[in-house]
Amino acid sequence: MSLDAPEYGAAVSCSFSALPLVPLSFSLHPLVDRFSDLDTLLDHIWTYVADASTNAQHPFRTPTFGTVGTDAPRLRTVVLRTADREARMLGFHTDRRSQKIEQIRGTPRIVWQGWDPERSEQFRLRGTASIHTDDDVADALWTAASDEERRLYRRPTAPGTPTEAPEHGLDESAPGRPHFAAIRTVIDEINWLHLHPDGHYRAHFRYHSVQNDWDGQWIVP
């Protein structure tokens, strides 16, 4: 077999006679249903997010979490720990000395974003965050955390502190609970995108407190 490479003015020869023939039976797009009803889609979004909060292998288990910094948006990956559709709530825990805490205190508006490569779906959820350090919300997440997760908070110095060499900063004798914080976000806006083989399409949902309900709309992707 000869493969011409005209950009180099030469030919590359190779033989695959010793290799077994394998049928090419894959698709660039997974066979995922195309949604046509906004209520059904909203159910799908919340079920998807709720599943992620209990499944470590789920694509939305480690979404991007965005806050507003003093000079620019700030993004980082977090681990989704809780999700509650009735409360419109997503939550995670973090070190109370981290920069995101000050950013939330300054501007509590936040955004979550995740991409599912298997389904070709993007999920973006906006809302308002609150910080919990020494209350029932924080206690519940601390109790639910594993020993290894609690161990990560045994750092005498704050995240982002400069060091002379790469190090984890852990001190096994240091307490972890005083550095622990729970972040609770209440969602009021959802933007969803589907790159479907029959055509890309997108939907937007906004929560209205007076009606106590979501209003959905198909929009151009």
43: left (phi over 0), alpha (psi -120 to 50) or beta: alpha
Q: Which ranges of 53-181 does DSSP label H, i.e. alpha helix? A: 99-106, 136-144, 147-151
Q: What is the pLDDT along the chain (221 residues), one digit of tens a residue?
A: 444 444 434 443 444 344 444 443 334 455 678 999 999 999 999 999 999 999 999 999 999 999 999 999 999 999 999 999 999 999 999 999 999 999 999 999 999 999 999 999 999 999 999 999 999 999 999 999 999 999 999 999 999 999 999 988 888 989 999 999 999 999 999 999 999 999 999 999 999 999 999 999 999 99
Q: Which domains does the chain have, with CATH numbers?
A: 35-219 (2.30.110.10)
How do residues 80-131 score in pLDDT, each as one tens digit? Answer: 999 999 999 999 999 999 999 999 999 999 999 999 999 999 999 999 999 9
